Amino acid sequence: MRNNRRGGKYRTFQRTDLPSFVPGERGPRSGTVGLPLRKLLISVLAGAALLLAAFPAFAQEQHKQEPPAFSSGYRLPVQTFPAPRAPIFAWVDVSVLVAALALAAYFSVTRRSRTGIRALSVCCLAYFGFYRQGCICPVGSVQNVALAMTHSGYALPVTVGLFFLLPLLTALFFGRVFCAAVCPLGALQDLLLLRPVRVAPAVEQTLSLLPYAYLGAGLLFASTGASFVICKYDPFVGVFRLAAPVSMIALGGVFLALSTVVGRPYCRFLCPYGVLLRWASMLARWKPEVAPVRCVNCHLCASTCPFGALRPSVAAMEIEPLPIRRRRAARILATGPAIVAALAALGWLGAPMLATVHPVVAHADLIWTKHQAGRAGVAGTVVALAPDPSEMPVLHEAALIRRKFFVASALFGGWLGLVVWLRLLALSRRDDAPFYVADPAACLACARCYGLCPGEVKTAE
């Protein structure tokens, strides 16, 4: 039945052949899709502003916590990383990754088995997590690729490049099956999920900007040679290695506790590699499908999914008239370049603070502070001390690094502006699907919804 209200703001579509509720289950709330756009716009813009404000403070905190000592003839300390394994063992890791990706695609897309996904998750968590201690992982390999592309002196190991590419290539064909069972970070969170709760749409829209910002920050600091922040602040490395700073142990504890009630908070709201997987999975040839036969709109799959990856049908949501959506999209298209330019300018202004994360720049700042202090002259005036000749190379190198940061920080701000612009455009779009379908970008192929689908049961019979 179609009901048009003249005085109403939206057209509401209703179907009388669908059950109004399912005993013991809660269907999707109409407010989830019909959330006022103004709240979403405020949330997205506020989230972008907070991100740009937080990164200079992050850089300042880095400068305070890790001031490099200097003296005459100072030499920069070598950044420590886990010792590389023998080449044969690195190729063993790649072989295990290939086998795990193949099994994940089989269990999720072909076999449609939640039991198989859980068993594979436990095995991958044991191997890639506790045995290999989370290194090397596709999430951190993003930084290795960025460093190899910007520094000719760094050669990207073949095995690291394969860890970066193989999950993305798999996502192009089968969706995010890497997230389903192979990634140890996601497996640990998924196994701890006990009583999932739904995240408010406005909160989820705001937090979903964080992975894009984290990806941009990781590329910024890695390409400039400052730091591998994604690996340094991995909240689960302390769990896998059973050793970490107190602050990281506390952060990991927070994520583990949050994982018991929120579906994979790190994967959804922080993982930078998830951004690349989202893009690849949207082109997947064989995507995980909720119903093997015609969907009957029973709402069971949407009630089960803890990640909000299932879009409700046109019968369950309110749709704005097409002219309103077109006018909004036109306004967003017109203001988009200004948003990108403004955030790029903010990134450029924050470059001096962000550059202090680099150890060479931090050391040069200490040298400069020492010589600016100077010494008292005969007449009581302050006379600056001349820099020591051995310190001049450090000052010169720091100046070159600062120039790189001005360019990289402006690109980082422009990247955030582009993300905000595209997100606002997406908010003005509505997918009028005739039944429940999984969003390939948000679906983690966990196979939770398969067993509850009536079409799945009918097919099995």
Q: Which residue has the higher pLDDT, 139 or 48?
A: 139
Q: Which one of 143-152, 319-328, 432-441 scores highest in mean pLDDT?
A: 143-152
Angstrom distance (rounded) from CA 96 to CA 115? 20
Instruction: Please state, as a whole number, how many other Cβ atoms lie within 10 Å of the Cβ of residue 96.
Output: 17
Write down the domain spans for the chain: 38-70+320-372+387-429, 81-319+434-461
pLDDT band of residue 10 (cuts 50, 70, 90) is very low
Residue with the bigger pLDDT between 378 and 452: it is 452
Q: What is the pLDDT of residue 431?
A: 55
Cα dihedral 108, 110, 114, 118, rounded to 10, equals -60
User: How does pLDDT run across 241-251, given as a tens digit for each residue?
Assistant: 888 888 888 99
Residues 409, 121: Cα–Cα separation, whole Å: 38
What is the distance between the alpha carbons of residues 247 and 317, in angstroms, rounded to a whole number?
44
Residues whose CB falls within 8 Å of the CB of residue 147, separated by 6 or more in sequence, listed in order: 154, 156, 222, 223, 225
Q: Hey, is 183 helix, strand or coil? A: coil
| Interval 221-243: pLDDT, tens | 999 999 899 998 999 988 898 88
pTM of the model: 0.77
Q: What is the DSSP letter of 311?
A: E
**Band of the pLDDT at 312, cuts 50, 70, 90?**
low
